[in-house]
Amino acid sequence: MPPKPTLSVAIVGVGLVGSELISQLLAIQAPNPFRLVSLTSSRYTLFAADGLGVNAGSWASALSASSATPNLPVLAEQLAKLEAAVLVDNTSSQDVAELYPEFLKRGVHVVTPNKKAFSANQQLYDAILRASRETGARWLNESTVGAGLPVVQTLKDLVATGDKVKKIEGVFSGTMSYIFNNFSTANPGGPAFSSVVRVAREKGYTEPHPADDLNGADVARKLAILARSIPSLQNALPEGYTSVQTRSLVPQALGSVSSGAEFVDRLPEFDVEFEKLREEARAEGSVLRFVGVVDVENGIVKADLEKYPTTHPFATSLGGSDNIVMFHTERYSPRPLIVQGAGAGAAVTAMGVMSDLLKLVL
């Protein structure tokens, strides 16, 4: 087999994950199958067809010294001229996500931890599929669910080898995991819901506005991505993540509070309600977990607060902000295949992105 050409890599978004990815990319021993040709933040951009020639210590200052303004349609044209190129979208931007078809149409692969495109409406998803089919450019999304954990690839392998997926069930949000691992345990008593949320926010485990975690949308997006990776559900969510049955934990009365700090200050008004749910669960020998479920057999995709017996893995084996995913399939029955571990953090997310990049060159 002829050797594969060097893969030109363009990274959009150079925050925590982006920075970690650059380190991992530049640290690969020669012969490095990748060449870093472009970096883009919201304000600056760099492009050099034959490689930027930066190192781990110099890329940030080179980028902020650039005089060019970011322009992704122009980047798509620049990458299209290269022999093999990939766009890495490390933003959480909807605008960037909507441009994936433009890159794929030009033969540029897309790798991303950004959930926005794959969990949006059917039109965008279909446009991505179509563009990819036209040119053979691939789009890879491993790090959109469970960060670096092998969740999407495991599902793909189960489907591709002819196993029948009956149900996927898991704790998909690191933030929700942390909150409920702390709030609801096998022991009586425990901290108030609002104080757990406050501590989580102070530690940087929540979004600046905790409602962005508590509304369940992040879990719904991950479920949309998993559901669409199962053939029988590929067209089941016409509006993407908004078609997922989602229970929001944002109290209705706080729905319009736009400041994260004010939200946390007012949350104690609702501690009694959460306490009641916790006690109900405890009376049944259960704990509360905010989970996502893709019930393939019954065609149900939902994000909800559920009760699990204190002996269940969701109650016994989670710590910190771990994710856990159970695949119930025809082969993995009656005991499911389980994937568990850190579901957030720059190092593990960048690893998920890196593993997708390696799929393109190996």
Ligand X SMILES: *[C@@H]1O[C@H](CO)[C@@H](O)[C@H](O)[C@H]1NC(C)=O
Ligand Y SMILES: NC(=O)c1ccc[n+]([C@@H]2O[C@H](COP(=O)([O-])OP(=O)(O)OC[C@H]3O[C@@H](n4cnc5c(N)ncnc54)[C@H](OP(=O)(O)O)[C@@H]3O)[C@@H](O)[C@H]2O)c1
Interaction with ligand X in 245-264: which residues (CB under 6 A)?
Answer: none
Is 320 a binder of ligand Y (CB under 6 A)? no
| 17 annotated as ligand-binding | yes
| Cβ–Cβ under 8 Å, residues 14 and 346 | no
Binding residue count for ligand Y, defined by CB under 6 A: 25
Q: Between the CA of residue 43 and those of 46, 73, 122, 131, what are the distances in Å?
A: 11, 15, 31, 28
The span of 176-184, 247-255, 259-267, 272-280 binding ligand X (CB under 6 A) equals 176-184
Nearest CA among 44, 34, 41, 51 for reference residue 19: 41
Is 118 a binder of ligand X (CB under 6 A)? yes
Alpha-carbon gap, residue 171 to 176, rounded angstroms? 8
Give me the phi and psi of 304, to 5 degrees please.
-155, 165
3-state secondary structure of 325: strand
The span of 27-35, 46-54, 222-230, 237-245 binding ligand X (CB under 6 A) equals 222-230
Interface with ligand X (CB under 6 A), residue from 6, 181, 184, 194: 181
| 18 annotated as ligand-binding | yes
Nearest CA among 199, 164, 145 for reference residue 348: 145
Is 345 a binder of ligand Y (CB under 6 A)? yes
Q: How far is CA 158 from the centre of its chain?
A: 20
| 116 annotated as ligand-binding | no
| 190 annotated as ligand-binding | no
Interface with ligand X (CB under 6 A), residue from 54, 152, 236, 294: 152
Is 127 a binder of ligand X (CB under 6 A)? no
Interaction with ligand X in 291-310: which residues (CB under 6 A)?
Answer: none
C-alpha angle with apex 137: 133 to 143, nearest 5 degrees? 110
Nearest CA among 220, 214, 287, 306 for reference residue 252: 214
| 285 annotated as ligand-binding | no
Partner whose footprint covers residue 249, from ligand X, ligand Y, none (CB < 5 to 8 Å by kind) = none
List 81, 166, 222, 302, catalytic entry: 222
Instruction: Tell me the residue nearest to ligand X as measured from the CB.
Output: 15
Q: Between the CA of residue 184 and those of 75, 177, 279, what are the distances in Å?
A: 48, 10, 9
Q: Least distance from C-beta 352 to ligand Y, angstroms? A: 7
Partner whose footprint covers residue 204, from ligand X, ligand Y, none (CB < 5 to 8 Å by kind) = none
Is 206 a binder of ligand X (CB under 6 A)? no
Cα within 13 Å of Cα(210), Cβ side: 28
222 is catalytic: yes
Residue 345's contacts (CB-CB under 8 Å, 6 or more residues apart) are 147
Q: How far is CA 71 from the centre of its chain?
A: 25
Partner whose footprint covers residue 231, from ligand Y, ligand X, none (CB < 5 to 8 Å by kind) = none
Is 26 a binder of ligand X (CB under 6 A)? no
Interaction with ligand X in 327-356: which residues (CB under 6 A)?
Answer: 346, 349
Which amino acid would we find at residue 360?
L
Q: Least distance from C-beta 320 to ligand X, angstroms? A: 5
Which structure tokens are listed for 31? 């012969």
Interface with ligand X (CB under 6 A), residue from 7, 9, 10, 14: 14
Is 96 buried (19+), middle (13-18) or exposed (0-12) by CB count in 10 A? Answer: buried
Interaction with ligand Y in 65-104: which residues (CB under 6 A)?
Answer: 70, 90-93, 95-96
Interface with ligand X (CB under 6 A): 13-18, 90-91, 118, 140-141, 152, 156, 178, 181-182, 199, 225, 228-229, 319-320, 346, 349
The residues annotated as belonging to the active site are 222
Binding-site residue set for L-homoserine? 207
Binding-site residue set for NADPH? 91, 115
